[in-house]
Amino acid sequence: MAWNTNLRWRLPLTCLLLQVAMVVLFGVFVRYDLDADAHWWAEKSRRNISSDLENEFYYRYPSFQDVHVMVFVGFGFLMTFLQRYGFSAVGFNFLLAAFGIQWALLMQGWFHHVEDRHIILGIENLINADFCVASVCVAFGAVLGKVSPVQLLIMTFFQVTLFSVNEFILLNLLEVKDAGGSMTIHTFGAYFGLTVTRILYRRNLEQSKERQSSVYHSDLFAMIGTLFLWMYWPSFNSAISYHGDSQHRAVINTYCSLAACVLTSVAMSSALHKKGKLDMVHIQNATLAGGVAVGTAAEMMLMPYGALIVGFFCGIISTLGFVYLTPFLESRLQIQDTCGIHNLHGIPGILGGIVGAVTAAYASPEAYGKEGLAHSFDFQGFKEGWSTTTQGKFQIFGLLVSLAMALMGGVIVGLILRLPFWGQAADENCFDDGVYWEIPEEKSTVYIPEDPTLKPGVHSAPLVPSVPMVSSIPIASSAVPLVP
Looking at the Cβ atoms of 77 and 131, the one nearer to its own copies is 77
Binders in 177-216 for its own copies, by CB under 8 A: 210, 213-216
Q: Residue 119: in which H helix or E strand, if any?
A: strand 118-121
**Cβ(285)–Cβ(318) under 8 Å?**
yes
**Cβ(414)–Cβ(196) under 8 Å?**
yes
| Contact between 47 and its own copies per CB under 8 A | no
Looking at the Cβ atoms of 411 and 463, the one nearer to its own copies is 463
Q: Closest separation between CB of residue 232 and its own copies, Å?
A: 7
Binders in 368-397 for its own copies, by CB under 8 A: 368-373, 375-376
How far is residue 482's CA from residue 385's CA, in Å, rounded to a whole number? 64
Write the binding mask 211 to 240 for its own copies: x where contact by CB under 8 A, - elsewhere: --xxxxx-xxx-xx--xx-xxx-xx-----
Binders in 401-420 for its own copies, by CB under 8 A: none
Q: Closest separation between CB of residue 359 and its own copies, Å?
A: 12
Binders in 23-42 for its own copies, by CB under 8 A: 23, 26-27, 30-33, 35-42
Q: Closest separation between CB of residue 285 and its own copies, Å?
A: 13
Binders in 236-265 for its own copies, by CB under 8 A: 243-249, 251-252, 255-256, 258-260, 262-264
How far is residue 326's CA from residue 212's CA, in Å, rounded to a whole number? 14
Buried b or exposed e, range 300-320, using 16+ CB within 10 angstroms: bbbeeebbbbbbbbbbbbbbb
Looking at the Cβ atoms of 418 and 459, the one nearer to its own copies is 459
Identify the residue among 3, 95, 110, 383 touching its own copies (CB under 8 A).
95
**Chain centroid, CA 247 distance in Å:** 21
What DSSP designation does 440 have? P
| Contact between 134 and its own copies per CB under 8 A | no
Residue 413 contacts by C-beta under 8 Å, 6 or more apart in sequence? 154, 155, 158, 159, 192, 196
| Contact between 175 and its own copies per CB under 8 A | no
Q: Closest separation between CB of residue 397 and its own copies, Å?
A: 24
Binders in 263-282 for its own copies, by CB under 8 A: 263-264, 266-268, 270-271, 273-280
Nearest to 87 by CA among 200, 426, 95, 194: 95
Buried b or exposed e, range 128-156, using 16+ CB within 10 angstroms: bbbbbbbbbbbbbbbbbbbbbbbbbbbbb
Binders in 275-334 for its own copies, by CB under 8 A: 275-280, 283, 287, 301, 303-305, 308-309, 312
Residue 257: CA atoms inside 13 Å, Cβ hemisphere, count? 35
Binders in 440-469 for its own copies, by CB under 8 A: 440-449, 451, 454-469
Strand partners, 119: 30, 114
